[in-house]
Each structure stands twice: as structure tokens, then as C-alpha cells.
Structure 1
Amino acid sequence: MADIRTLWSDLGGDWRLAGPSFDVDEGLETAVIVSLFTDRVADAGETGIESTGRRGWWGDAFADVDGDRIGSRLWKLAREKRTPAVLGRAETYAREALQWLVDDGVARSVTVAAEAVGAQGEVLALAIGVTRSDRPVAQFRFESFWKGQ
């Protein structure tokens, strides 16, 4: 089934026109982008979020499956230094956000690797692999969402 194709750039998510209508894709790239770059609500009691609140999407309150949430907690890392521990948290948050692909049978597995890139390691890069049984591994790389201050 076709979906409006969402592309990721330095400015965030965007849609592209293809003639008089929107460009479309099979939906996997869009699903990965929405899963990673929509703010997931932080768990109650998480530390370090007093100034920003718990964020999240209001629609989670009406999820079909109890406790189901959309998005990731990558937003919590925006002001963090690029240390190995923070890169590990980025991988954890990305895996958590993409787990639904496996749970819902869209993919057999998802791999995530985070690294600091750029001259001074000021940019967080995420490499995502989505393994499906009937297709080649879909690979995505995102760098532009976390630039150093």
C-alpha cells in the first residue's frame, strides 16, 4: 500500500510533489522517520526533563493497544555531550521507537548503530537496518537531526 513519502533533511521532515500530487513510497521510510523523530512521552519520574516537560503525542492517550506510544525519546539527548554513554542511550531510544515494526510483523529485526561524526564529533548519526522476510534489508542513515551547539 502506498503512503505519502516523508523525506528527512536538515530542516526536518518534508513531503515532495510528484507532478500534481505527493510523491509516494511503500511507507517503510516514512514509518521509520515518524517513529524516530516524533517526540515520545518521557516516563513519569525520568530525570532531566523538568524544564521541557514530558512532551509526547496527545494521541497516545487514545491508543488502540493499551500503553502503545508513538515516537522516540531522542529529543532528550539534544543538549547532551556526545559521549559513549549518550551514544548508547541514542541506540536504546531508537530501538525502542522501532520495536513496533517487529512486534507488528512488519520486520523480522531492526538494527541500530549510533556514532558521533563531524570534525569534532558534533553530529549524532544513526544507521538503521530493517530486515524483512520478503525483501532486501532496508538501510537508512540520519545525521542532520542532532547538530552540536
Structure 2
Amino acid sequence: MTGLTSVVLALLIQQVAPATPAWTWTLYDDNPLVLANEVPDTARLRSTFECEPGSSVVRLSLYPAAPAHGFARVTAGSAATTAAVEPARGDGLRLVLRSDHPVFAAFAANGHLGVMIGEERRVIEVQRSHLAKLRRFTELCAS
């Protein structure tokens, strides 16, 4: 009876508890080079970093985001900069950063990037297990 009770309880938990999306970082080394925070095999994105290899110009897109214009304050570690905000495809916003800027270097080192647009603050976090992808992205953008 105990085994049957355990199975029934497990099935009930699966039906009641919503599945947590498996957000991950994926590096696509096509042209353009893209580092995406996504749920694989879906259209769900939180953010993407794109660049043409060797250009040092990185386009950061944030999803979903309310329409905004003006400038964003971008921080990582003790470094800070500003970047113009423009609409991105769908419900996103886009900023342009340089991969050779101290903000991006601090981001590649610690995996934390703060973006303040008006009153909205976003923190982009690349988990330790994915830092090698971020560093490879930075290397390919700059070389």
C-alpha cells in the first residue's frame, strides 16, 4: 500500500506543481554570433547578445520590455556606461555596447550586468557554469 500511495502522491504533485522553464545560455556561432538566454526549442527569450565576429560591437536585446527611448545606465562590477535604447523585434529593447569596454570586461569576469532604463532595473546573470560561453563570445567579438 505504501508504494501505491507514493506513486499517487508523485502524480498529484506533478499535476499541481507547474513545470519550471529550463532557462539556459546558448552560444550560436553562426554569423552573427549570438549568446542567448532562452528556453531551448521555444521562442522564449530573456536576453540576447549579438555581434559580428571581430567587430567589438555588441547588441544587447532584452525581452519582454515596455517601450522605452533615451539612455540606459549599464553597470558591471565598479564599471559603468550609458547606451542608447531603441526598440528591438517583437516586445524587446536593444542597446549597443563595446566588448572592449570596461563594463563588458567586468561582465565577462563576473557574469553580472545591471541595466537601468528609466525606473526599470534588469540584472542579467550568467551562471558560473555558463561563464565560458560568455568569455568565448567576448573573445570572438573582439578578434
Same fold (TM over 0.5): no
CA radius of gyration, larger in: 2
What TM-score comes out, normalization by structure 2 length?
0.34
Bigger strand share:
2
TM-score, length of structure 1 as denominator length: 0.33
